[in-house]
């Protein structure tokens, strides 16, 4: 009787450990997105030079022809031929939550009209949102929720590490004191 119990237990353990000889193949995880450029390292531009919509928005054109806006209400986004966008998206927007890509039938910010280009190596910032370009990569980041997006010929993607910055802190640190 004891032998049967031991044999049964060993058989169950072998099955749990993959002793059946058949392993379920798991697809490899996609590689993580590269780190986002530090948009706040770019030189700031004069905000009023980019005011549109009677001063309720700030808009700029990227070197690759996208129209991007920051709204005084906290929203931000870009529209146009987004390079290497997921599912061929032509619109990305965020605020107050994490941004997302979408497809629109028309130029979402086309009604803003002709907007001033943002020089390479510069950024425009309003409240917690900063957008900038190095000349080929456009990045928008919202420090309020640690999210944003990167628009790049090498691949466009959403920045969101899933952390809540005031709650998810390294052990022994305080967000209010250095």
Q: pLDDT tens digit string along 76-88?
A: 999 999 999 999 9
Cβ contact 70:58 at 8 Å? yes
Low-confidence ranges of the chain (pLDDT < 50): 1-22
pTM: 0.74
Which two three-digit tokens encode residue 150?
């990167």
Q: How many CB atoms lie within 10 A of CB 37?
A: 18
Q: For residue 162, is it left (φ>0), alpha (ψ between -120 and 50) or beta?
A: left
- pLDDT score for 97: 85
pLDDT tens for each residue of 33-61: 677 889 999 999 999 999 999 999 999 99
HSE of 63, CA atoms in CB hemisphere, 13 A: 16
Q: By 3-state DSSP, what share of the chain in percent is helix, strand and coil, each rounded to 5?
A: 15, 30, 55
Domains of the chain, by residue range, sit at 39-160
Longest CA–CA separation in the chain, Å: 87
């Amino acid at each position: 009787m004891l032998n049967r119990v031991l044999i049964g237990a060993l058989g169950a353990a072998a099955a749990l450990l993959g002793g059946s000889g058949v392993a379920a193949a798991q697809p490899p995880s996609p590689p993580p997105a590269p780190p986002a450029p530090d948009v706040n390292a770019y030189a700031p531009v004069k905000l009023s030079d980019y005011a549109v919509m009677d001063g309720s928005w700030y808009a700029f054109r990227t070197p690759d022809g996208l129209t991007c806006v920051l709204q005084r209400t906290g929203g931000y986004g870009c529209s146009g031929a987004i390079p290497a966008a997921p599912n061929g998206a032509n619109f990305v927007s965020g605020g107050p939550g994490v941004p997302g890509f979408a497809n629109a039938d028309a130029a979402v910010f086309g009604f803003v009209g002709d907007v001033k280009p943002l020089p390479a190596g510069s950024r425009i910032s309003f409240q917690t949102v900063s957008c900038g370009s190095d000349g080929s990569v456009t990045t928008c980041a919202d420090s309020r929720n640690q999210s944003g997006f990167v628009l790049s010929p090498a691949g466009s993607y959403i920045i969101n590490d899933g952390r809540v910055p005031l709650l998810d802190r390294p052990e022994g640190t305080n967000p209010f004191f250095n």
